[in-house]
Amino acid sequence: MDRAAPLPGIHRRLRAAMAIGALLTLLGTYIVSTTTRADAAPGPNVIRVAEFPADCTFSHRLPDDPIIFPGLPGASHMHSFFGSTVTNAHTTLPDLQRSTSTCNPRVDVSSYWTPTLYKDNVPVEPAIVTFYYLGEGVRSDVVARTEPLPLGLRLVAGNAKAAGPDESIARWSCLHAGQVPPSKNFVTCPAGTMLESYLDFPQCWNGRDLDSPDHKSHLAYPVNQACPSTHPVPVPKLRQVLRYPVNGNPAGFRLASGPGYTMHGDFFNAWPVEEMARRIRDCIRPVIKCGADGRPI
C-alpha cells in the first residue's frame, strides 16, 4: 500500500487513537461473541460442512404406508421403519409426537421408512442407518437462509414403480470399497464390505403444503443451485444412507418394491420445532458439521 508524505502531528495522534480504539472494539466484539454465543460461534476446529445427522436403527416391519395408503393396513409392499416405534397405516403427527424413537438423538420422533431388502427371500435390515440433513446442492447464500423443514411434513423420494434404471434416482455402492462404481441397481460388493444405498430428498419447499396428491410435488429439487420460483423456500436436503450387512453376488437381492432401482424413502417430520430450528441456526446456515446432539463436532 502506498504511503504518501509524512503525516502532520495531529494526524499521527489521531491515527494512534483510532488504532487502539479499533483494537478494543474488535476485542470487545470477540469477547461478547465467544461468551454469550459460545454455543453457536464456530471454534477454530469446526468442520465447514453444513450438516447434522439422525442415526436411527431399525424399528419394525409392516406392509403399511401412512403417506401413500393412509388408513389401509396391509395395502403396501413390506416396509422397514426407522425412528418412531409406532408407525402403522393409521399414524398421524400426534401419534409420532407421543412415541419413542430409535434415533440418536432421541428427540427425533420422525418416521422414516423404505422398502424392505430381501436376500433369498429373507429380510435383511440395514446395520447402519443415518439420515443426514445437509446444506448443499444450492449456492452458499441460499444455504445461509435455509428454513427448517415444517412440522408434519410428509414427503416421498425415489420412484417405487421405476420400470428401469433411467426412471430412478437410486444410488447403490459399497461401504469401504470406493473402487466399485455406484449404480442405480444393486452392485457386487467385495467380501468384508457392506452394500449401501444413498437417496437424496428434494430441498425446495413451496412454502405452503405439508403434503400433495402425489406426495412429492410440494417440494422440488434445486435448479442451477437455487430454489425455483414455484418452490422458493430452501430447506435442508435429507439424505438417507442405509448400510446393509450383505455383499457379493446381488442375484438373490430384491426390494419389497422390486429391483434395486425401485428404492424409495418416505419421511414424516415430527422433529420438535425448537430442536430442528436450533440445528438450522447452529449447523446449516453457518455451515458447521454437527453431531447428533446438534452441536459442532
Which value, in Å, is the radius of gyration of the alpha carbons in the chain?
A: 24
Of the two residues 161 and 191, which places its CB atom closer to another protein in the complex? 161
Of the two residues 7 and 223, which places its CB atom closer to another protein in the complex? 7
Of the two residues 168 and 247, which places its CB atom closer to another protein in the complex? 168
Distance from C-alpha of 128 to C-alpha of 243, rounded to nearest angstrom: 5
Minimum Å distance from CB 158 to another protein? 9
**Residue 32 found at the interface with another protein (CB under 8 A):** yes
8 Å CB contact between 292 and 106? no
The footprint of another protein on residues 42-81 (CB under 8 A) is 42, 63, 65, 68-77
Minimum Å distance from CB 41 to another protein? 5
Of the two residues 122 and 191, which places its CB atom closer to another protein in the complex? 122
Minimum Å distance from CB 240 to another protein? 16
123 has which bridge partners? 118
**Residue 26 found at the interface with another protein (CB under 8 A):** yes
Of 51-59, 80-88, 125-133, 145-153, which segment contacts another protein by CB under 8 A?
145-153
**Residue 162 found at the interface with another protein (CB under 8 A):** yes
Nearest to 204 by CA among 147, 244, 133: 147
**Residue 103 found at the interface with another protein (CB under 8 A):** no
Of the two residues 79 and 243, which places its CB atom closer to another protein in the complex? 79
**Residue 89 found at the interface with another protein (CB under 8 A):** yes
Of the two residues 194 and 271, which places its CB atom closer to another protein in the complex? 271
The footprint of another protein on residues 227-256 (CB under 8 A) is 232-233, 254-256
Minimum Å distance from CB 175 to another protein? 26
**Residue 160 found at the interface with another protein (CB under 8 A):** yes
Q: Which position has the grid cell 428404492?
A: 263
Cα angle 227, 231, 233 (rounded to 5 degrees) comes to 70
Member of 98, 106, 139, 145 binding another protein (CB under 8 A): 145
